[in-house]
Amino acid sequence: MKPITLCGLLLLSSISLQAQTRHEQSLNTWQFSRDSLHWQTVSVPHDWAISGPFDKKWDLQVVAIVQNGEKEKTEKSGRSGALPWIGEGYYATSLNVGDMSGQRYTLEFDGAMAEPTVYVNGHKAGFWAYGYSPFRLDITPFLHPGSNTLAVSLRNQPESSRWYPGAGLYRPVKLVTMPVVSIDPWATFLRTEKADSASATLAFDTQVKGATGQEGWAVEVSLLNPKGWVEQAAHASLDQEGRVHISLPVANPRLWSPETPHLYRVAVTLYQNGSVVDAFHMNTGIRTIAYSKERGFELNGQARKFKGVCLHHDLGPLGAALNKAALIRQVKALKDMGADAIRTSHNLPSQMQMEVYDSLGMMVMAESFDMWRYPKCKNGYAQYFDEWSERDLTHLVLSNRNHPSLVMYSIGNEIPEQGSREGRDIAGRLQDICHRYDSTRPVTQGMDRVDAALKSGFAQVMDIAGFNYRVHKYDGAISQLPKGFLLGSETASTVSSRGVYKFPVRFKVASEEADGQVNGYDTEWCSWSNLPEVDFMAMEDKSYTIGQFVWTGYDYLGEPTPYDNYWPSRSSYFGILDLAGLPKDRYYLYRSVWNTQEHTLHLLPHWTWPGRERQVTPVFVYTDYPEAELFVNGKSQGRRQKDKTLRGDGPLVSTPELAAERAKRYRLMWNDVKYEPGELRVVAYDASGRPAAEQTVRTAGRAAAIKLKADRSTLHADGADLSYITVSLVDKNGTELPTATDYIEVEVRGAGTFKAICNGDATSVEVFTEPHMHLFSGKLVVTVQAGNAIGDIDVVVKDKKAKLQNTIKLKVAGK
């Protein structure tokens, strides 16, 4: 490696940025057909199934869910979302190519659901089996100068998924034009070798096929700060195999973390005899990670525990179609809750996801598979595993290892083979594949059969033993784990419906009820799981735990436990936020524990209960403050303190009695309050006993107006940016009507279009892509999409029955 002077460094960087010949073109506009006869123009990313209609006949599965402890097969009407995603779909577009001399053309798919076969000018260019895997095809041999036809056919098999997978070209597609001899970003690995606030050392490796050191080839790496200035650069010649290694020192680095997600721009340039041949940019974050028995998980030398959530890939009413603004909204809500990590359950993440996680600061467990050889559903990934798993796992690592947000890989979830020698051997082989291409990050997986996994040696093989639930087995397992620590790879599975409260309030395992809803008091869990308090205690009181990933951050389409056999029910109840992205009460319970930078004070339930006068209506408060006093119409209901004497030292078994007792450590509960219309007020006290905050909830009257609240009022004119508008009804005093179910109609005018609508009701079969829907628990969310032109958007919302109307104005500005 040869260092470069500042003057030369700036010159070379300027040449690199101006002379690059690489070009990336997003392929957004396609023709789409379900039968290859009738075509329509669509924008990619695209999910052909999200418009419905919902119907129990779509992918109706009659199965016993082994993971839920079921032994008898029953009808699972909403298991994969009750949307028409089964079958074939066809996409076609045209490519205009100029002079092809000295150029190479690669199609890059970030994922295509499913089994995509790609054709160029009628010739088969390639196939990939796994719908979640990124893949690339060199289509140079099939192209000619001028107009070319690109076509993709896809097939979704029935009973191939345990949740809604979406359908079609649901992630971005790009055409990359580059020189014949060029740098491959997937062959490029940039990582932090050491770092502190004073200095850091980055290591860079790549291999350039078709180039050797004898031919005057060299690579330059330049590190740019956020203002565009080059902070450091170095270059080196290629060796005989076209490889290069560069060590890049950095003074006074800005370290990446969830709290400070600093990113540097990196310019990578390929030279031959001093002339620029190829160049591309990437982002990097300077940070170190470490795992040990003594310190657990460390980021930048600081011990911390993961406050993570699991996320499926759908974006609620958008379906599986990827959208950057939707991802950003997700992450911002989770970060406000105090979360700092995401597990991409149970599949490979998209590059757009990883870029958002890099920029906003979310650590990532990047997962690969939900099954290996043994099928969990008839046509699942097991049919591909032997032939494709190494290729898919290799693509997971190569496409993601340059992202600073990535802190571990996962090779599986609740794999049935975990109790066998075969499973232990497969786990070791898959882990070795990850290590082969990235030795800097550990590998984990989620295990649910803990005793079997320990007996077979399956758990001991892993860099990180990940336990799905089974918190009561932690103490017995830790002595058998050579690494000396374990991860809650999937936790809680508490279930609730936003804004739905049932009486009497009971702590219990959730079961089906006539309305298809689960109590919003956050007192119900699944037969295999527990309430949040169990995991809070495990993380706080057991030093060997390194954190948790809650199932789930958001509700998702499919898996409507505990209503797997109930119709209509087509989406989950596990989410801390609902399918529309609205927080459930449980959001504030997590926030009160996880968000240590801001105070939390949240009161539940609502206080509009006509017909419940003088009946017991328990009140819960979620707060980080240690004590609070509750008032009903000014009359004190007494002060409550959190019981910090409750400990999680022993096996954390979940029973209704223990759940109710443990809740006292994290919740303030007034279980004997009798409902009176009027005002419910809570005053929180700090550690010194002084009033610190208060919240008031009032009884709502008749609807007097429509309330509209947009998460963003200014959008970018890129044809994809989104604003989410929360709709509710309020009385003459501005109090929201918490039980309203009015039918809402929406009209979007001007420089944008209506995109989707969702109310968060798992039992609703109203279509997401039509501009009307009923309120659920008093709310729904309208999604509006910007066009490509600057201007204003008027969103008109009507409640014809109540004779109410309101308009909110959004702006569309330049990109």
Residue 20 confidence (pLDDT): 42
Same domain, 718 and 760: yes
Active site residue 745: no
Same domain, 172 and 249: no
Out of 155, 177, 199, a domain closes at: 177
Out of 663, 698, 733, a domain closes at: 698
Same domain, 348 and 312: yes
Q: Are 53 and 765 in contact (CB under 8 A)?
A: yes
115, 159, 220, 414: the active-site residue: 414
Residue 262 belongs to some domain of the structure:
yes
Residue 244 belongs to some domain of the structure:
yes
Domain with residue 803: its CATH number is 2.60.40.10
Q: Total domain count for the chain?
A: 5
Same domain, 616 and 742: no
Same domain, 452 and 414: yes
Same domain, 393 and 324: yes
Residue 808 belongs to some domain of the structure:
yes
Same domain, 109 and 28: yes
Residue 729 belongs to some domain of the structure:
yes
| First-to-final CA distance of the chain | 39
Same domain, 163 and 276: no
Q: Round to whole Å and give the CA distance between 138 and 71.
A: 48
Residue located via tokens 């206080």: 607
Q: Round to whole Å and give the CA distance between 584 and 575.
A: 8
Instruction: Order across the sheet with 275-284: list the strands.
Output: 2-3, 230-237, 217-224, 264-272, 275-284
Active site residue 490: yes
Residue ranges in 182-274 assigned as alpha helix (H): none
Could you tell me the residue range of the domain that residue 609 belongs to? 602-698
Same domain, 173 and 204: no
pTM above the 0.85 mark? yes
**Geometric angle at alpha carbon 501, from 80 and 677, rounded to 5°:** 150
Q: Round to whole Å and give the CA distance between 690 and 696.
A: 18
Residue 673 confidence (pLDDT): 98
Residue 147 belongs to some domain of the structure:
yes
Out of 642, 669, 698, a domain closes at: 698
490, 559, 736, 766: the active-site residue: 490
Same domain, 163 and 211: no
Domain with residue 153: its CATH number is 2.60.120.260
Residue 583 belongs to some domain of the structure:
no
Same domain, 465 and 322: yes
Q: pLDDT tens-digit profile of 147-178?
A: 999 999 999 999 999 999 999 999 999 999 99
| Segments in the chain below pLDDT 50 | 1-20
| Strands (DSSP E) found in 385-540 | 406-413, 443-447, 465-468, 486-492, 508-509, 524-525
Closest residue by Cα to residue 510 from 663, 654, 652, 673: 654
Three-class SS of residue 271? strand
Residue 575 belongs to some domain of the structure:
no
Residue 71 confidence (pLDDT): 82
Task: Write the CA distances from 358 to 203, 232, 345, integer angstroms.
Answer: 19, 21, 18
Task: Provide the 10 A C-beta neighbour count for residue 174.
Answer: 16
Residue located via tokens 């699942």: 380
Q: Round to whole Å and give the CA distance between 769 and 782.
A: 10
Same domain, 263 and 366: no
- Residues sharing a CB contact under 8 Å with residue 738, sequence separation 6 or more, in sequence order: 499, 606, 608, 700, 777, 778
- Convert 241-254 to b/e letters by CB count within 10 Å (16 or more is b): ebbbebebebeebb
Q: Round to whole Å and give the CA distance between 509 and 657.
A: 12
Domain with residue 540: its CATH number is 3.20.20.80
Residue 77 belongs to some domain of the structure:
no
